[in-house]
């Protein structure tokens, strides 16, 4: 079983540890720490990528440039 928790370091406290222990009683667990920046921040850091993403959001909201797959394939 795998469970992912995402939280800020200032949220790490004994209650968090107790919740892990309650969720996985008497089990061996591995805790991995990943300090990568928020994915949204990294996507928006590049001005060209940011412009493309914002344009895509505009297009979706305006109903432009949408690709709709054949819905029969999902029935």
Q: What is the pLDDT of residues 18-75, one digit of tens each?
A: 999 999 999 999 988 887 666 777 788 889 999 999 999 999 999 999 998 998 988 7
Q: What single DSSP character describes residue 38?
A: P
pLDDT for 5? 86
Distance of CA 9 to the CA centre of its chain: 17
Joined together, the tokens standing for residue 69 give 């797959």
Q: 0.75 exceeded by the pTM?
A: no
């Amino acid at each position: 079983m795998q469970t992912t928790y995402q939280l800020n370091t200032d949220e790490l406290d004994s209650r968090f540890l107790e919740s892990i222990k309650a969720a996985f009683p008497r089990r061996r667990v591995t805790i991995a720490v990943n300090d990568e920046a928020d994915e949204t921040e990294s996507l928006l850091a590049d001005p060209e990528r940011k412009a493309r993403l914002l344009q895509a959001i505009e297009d979706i909201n305006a109903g432009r440039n949408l690709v709709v797959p054949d819905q029969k394939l999902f029935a």
